[in-house]
């Protein structure tokens, strides 16, 4: 694993930056449809947007987190490699990488990998349906 990038800004001066993950050629995070609200909140209205993601190992998937919000899951094709890197971390160490949020066909997606993002990148098929929008707990019909 590489050492942290010196150009990364740290939100807290005493916090250690995450170790930079080896993501190979890069990948697009899975389940974008289910993560539209957090992505839109992080990215705002403009695209593409730079994000710093950290990886967290969960029982059924490796989760990508940016600014305390889940922004997607590492695709199965890369999950084992990321899990192997997570297993090598010391306590309190984090594993992360620079990412880019972008819009394709009206849906936010997150590219994790070296920039610039390829224009013909493959988008994983979503299997989780997004939650219906609600106002005061009442679901809105579409």
- Whole-number percent of the chain with pLDDT over 90: 42
Task: Place 10 in a pLDDT band, splitting at 50, 70 and 90.
Answer: low
Give me the pLDDT at residue 57, please.
95
pTM of the entire predicted model: 0.78
DSSP the chain: -BPPPTT---SSTTSPPPEEP--TT-EEPB-TGGGHHHHHHHHTT-SSEEEEEEEEE-SS-EEEEETTEEEEE--HHHHHHHHHHHHTPPTT--EEEEEEEEEETTEEEEEESSSSPPTTPPPPPP-SPPPPPEETTEEPP-
In this predicted model, which residue has the larger pLDDT, 83 or 7? 83
Task: Place 128 in a pLDDT band, splitting at 50, 70 and 90.
Answer: confident
Give me the pLDDT at residue 127, please.
80
């Amino acid at each position: 694993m590489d050492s942290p990038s010196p150009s990364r800004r740290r939100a807290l001066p005493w916090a250690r930056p995450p170790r930079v993950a080896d993501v190979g050629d890069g990948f697009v995070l899975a389940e974008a449809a289910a993560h539209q609200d957090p992505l839109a909140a992080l990215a705002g209205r403009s695209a593409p947007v730079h994000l710093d993601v950290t990886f967290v190992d969960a029982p059924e998937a490796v989760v990508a987190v940016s600014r305390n919000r889940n922004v997607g899951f590492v695709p199965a094709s890369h999950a084992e490699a990321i899990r192997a890197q997570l297993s090598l971390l010391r306590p309190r160490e984090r594993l992360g990488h620079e990412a880019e949020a972008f819009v394709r066909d009206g849906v936010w997606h997150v590219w994790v990998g070296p920039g610039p993002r390829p224009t013909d990148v493959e988008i994983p098929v979503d299997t989780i349906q997004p939650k219906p929008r609600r106002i005061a707990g009442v679901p809105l019909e579409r």
